[in-house]
Amino acid sequence: MELSFTFGEVLWSFATSFLSIWTLYISVLFLYRITFHPLAKFPGPKLAAMSFAYEFWFDVVRGGRYTKQILRMHEKYVRINPEELHCNDPNFVDTVYASGNHRRNKSPQYVFAYPALFKSTEGSLDHDHHRMRNAAMSRCFSRSRICQIENLVHEKTHRLCDKILALRGCEPFRIVDAYSCFTADMISEYLFGESDGYLDLPGWEPNYRSLVDAFERNIHIFRHVHGLASLAEKLPLFLTNWLSKELKTIAIDVKVTLPKKIQKAMKLSDAVVYSTPSIMSTMLASSLPSSEKTLGRLTGEAMSLMAGGTESTSVTLTLFTFHILSNPIYYHRLLEEISAITASPSEIPDWKSLEKLCFLNAVMLECLRLLPGVSGRSPRIATDEDLIYDGANSSRPTYVIPRGYPVSMSTYILHMDESIFPNAKDFVPDRWLDETGNVNRILERRLLSFSRGNRQCIGRQLALCELHVCAAAMILRVFPYMELFETSRVDVDYDHDELIGKPSPQSKGVRVRVRDSGPGIQQ
Ligand code: HEM
């Protein structure tokens, strides 16, 4: 008997065998995940436990809406995907974030997409490696260092106010663009000793925020489709351009602009900002091994500082502008408090004095609560010990969370906890003051905007200095002339995650107009 097969038949048989084996493999994997997997005993929708498709649906297809879904799921569930548990108990925050041996989630699904895209693979660093890297940079962000460069914050703040006031009687504009020019100029000058100069341009565009925004819009797809980020990184520039305009903007920054600045810094590694060494020259002069000072690694770090330093602070100031311009009572309370410590509106008090103002602090805390920097979940893995979740604190069951599995909490969910923040969706700065009118330090511990522990925001002190100084300057100099333009709560309220919390996609942003004459904001 003669056996003869055509090429097509061989191909068909190969394809069907491959498909059958793949289907079998997937079925066994799905079954394993809901039966013998170490997390199988944790309650969660079967679909979420079996595959990442559930999360993909909410984050990629529905645009960053998994956090809201997790909030709904929490009535019954804690397992939110095959590999990860989620907790919404504020009493568990310190266990997850403040313990030294926990590292950022190493699982490929959650490797923090910023650095993966920009060559530093920060997300999968172990604790010691991260600590070694951070030691070099964290001294640039200590409180005393920020006080040394506070003059720069004042200088940029005045430039921002002058530029806004020069627009009296002109067309409305999006205030977030203006604030991001201020924050990007600030961080670029401290990073390289030379500012990007966005505040010196005639309008508010181009600005660094549009680049960060382009990245954030793609963050979920980068997170879910493995390898896409490194593929985008390896593509030659002309192909990136052809694929997407957004990718092109990011690629130019990562492949051309930042490396050029770093090379320049390498040549003159002694740039100073108000007699303080710039961040880049501090890193170059540090005792970090040469493998940590490569162009690729420093580009990743610079990108992360530029993005972190630009976006969250400008968004927080935007929220501040909306709530203060729409609440004259709060504006007048702030005006009275700040005016009491300055002789004239053009003399902005220093950060230390502003920090002592209770109502200003309460307003800032409320802004940070309502639009926390990173709104979605930040997973951590306990590498050396199992975590015990003791439900006794909250009448929930006790769980032993096996070591090696990511546990996450979401800042937005914690900040919306009605048992801690009644009427959580409303802007109520007074909730942060105790009966004596001082800031309630116990409640302040519940704020997680900058995260906690060794992976918390490195730029926290710079952010707080910028927020206080800029807010005070806006109150004294700009708000008497400024009004909101066709803006409502929809333009500021949290709607979905794109790394940070974003309002509805229909929003045109918080738009403002500067009147010809002041003073505005009537009682
Ligand atoms: C209101 C302002 C800000 C908020 C709410 C904020 C929030 C955060 C949070 C929550 C994280 C931790 C993310 C995680 O858990 O993975 C973080 C990390 C980071 N932030 Fe900020 N941030 C702000 C301003 C700044 C500023 C001004 C800088 C300036 C340099 C900055 C630079 C960074 C960097 C470089 C990281 C990564 C730190 C690391 O991996 O060790 N941030 N930020």
* ipTM score: 0.97
- Per residue in 74-107, pLDDT tens? 877 789 999 999 998 888 888 888 765 565 554 3
Contact 458 CB / ligand 1 (< 6 Å): yes
What DSSP designation does 433 have?
Answer: B
Strand, helix or coil for residue 458 = coil
- DSSP-based three-state secondary structure for 80: strand
Both tokens assigned to 109: 């699904």
Please tell me the predicted confidence (pLDDT) of residue 106.
44
Of all protein residues, the one whose alpha carbon is nearest to atom 35 of ligand 1 is: 305
Domains of the chain: 83-514 (1.10.630.10)
Candidate from 125, 306, 368, 457 with most ligand 1 atoms within 8 A of CB, to mutate:
457
Distance 14 CA to ligand 1 centre (A): 50
Tell me, in angstroms, the distance from the centre of ligand 1 to residue 308's CA.
Answer: 5
- Measure the CA–CA gap between 382 and 387, rounded to whole angstroms: 7
Residue of 517 and 379 predicted with greater confidence: 379
Instruction: Report the percentage of the chain scoring pLDDT > 70.
Output: 90
Residue 111: predicted pLDDT: 34
Whether the CB-CB separation of 192 and 278 falls below 8 Å is answered with: yes
Position 121 scores a pLDDT of 37
- The residue contributing the CA closest to ligand 1 atom 23 is 312
- Residue 234 pLDDT more than 60? yes
Contact of 409 with 93, CB cutoff 8 Å: yes
With a cut of 50, say whether residue 513 has pLDDT above it. yes
Judged against a pLDDT cut of 60, whether residue 110 lies above it is answered with: no
- CA distances to 481, 504, 520 from 508, in Å: 22, 9, 24
**In angstroms, rounded to a whole number, what is the distance separating the alpha carbons of residues 84 and 272?**
44
CA 303, 307, 313 angle in degrees (round to 5)?
155
Mean pLDDT of 44-57: 94
Residue 116 is predicted with a pLDDT of 38
Q: Does ligand 1 have an atom closer than 6 angstroms to the CB of 463?
A: yes
Q: What is the pLDDT of residue 325?
A: 97
Per-residue confidence (pLDDT) for residue 430, from 0 to 100: 98
For residue 294, how far is its CA from the centre of ligand 1 (angstroms)?
23
> How many other C-beta atoms can be found within 10 angstroms of the C-beta atom of residue 345?
17
Atom of ligand 1 nearest to the CA of 449: 5
Residue 64 pLDDT > 90: yes
Average pLDDT, rounded, for the chain = 88
Stretch among 244-258, 382-396, 456-470 having the lowest mean pLDDT: 382-396
Residue-level pLDDT at 124: 52
pLDDT of residue 398: 82
Cα end-to-end span (Å), the chain: 100
What mean pLDDT comes out for the span 132-155?
A: 92
- Residue with the smallest CA separation from ligand 1 atom 14 is 378
Ligand 1 closest atom vs CA 183: 27
Regarding the beta carbon of 451 and ligand 1, being less than 6 Å apart is answered: yes
Atom of ligand 1 nearest to the CA of 104: 16
**Closest ligand 1 atom, residue 462 Cα:** 27
406-408/84-86 β-pairing: parallel
Question: pLDDT at position 435, please?
Answer: 94
Closest CA to 91 of 404, 365, 420, 440: 420
Q: What is the enclosing helix (H) or strand (E) of 284?
A: helix 279-285
pTM reported for the whole predicted model: 0.89
Ligand 1: centre distance to CA 114 (Å): 12
Of 159-163, 224-228, 518-522, where does mean pLDDT reach its minimum? 518-522
171 C-alpha vs ligand 1 centroid, how far in Å? 33
Ligand 1 contact, 181 CB (< 6 A): no
Q: What is the mean pLDDT of residues 496-514?
A: 94
| Mean pLDDT within 3-24 | 86
Between 374 and 83, the higher pLDDT residue: 83
Cα separations in angstroms, 349 against 74, 159, 342, 439, 469: 45, 16, 6, 20, 8
**Model pLDDT, residue 204:** 95
* Mean pLDDT, rounded, for 170-174: 96
Q: Which amino acid is at 330?
A: Y
Q: Is the CB of 107 under 6 A from ligand 1?
A: no
pLDDT of residue 482: 96
pLDDT at 255: 87
Contact 421, 429 (CB under 8 A): no
Query: Radius of gyration over alpha carbons of the chain, in Å?
Result: 25
**Which residue do the tokens 């602070």 mark?**
313
Measured from the CB, is residue 455 less than 6 Å from ligand 1?
yes
Is 457 near ligand 1, meaning CB less than 6 Å away?
yes
Average the pLDDT over each of 221-235, 385-399, 424-438 and give the range with the smallest value. 385-399
Q: Is the pLDDT of residue 394 over 80?
A: no
The answer to whether the CB of 187 is under 6 A from ligand 1 is: yes
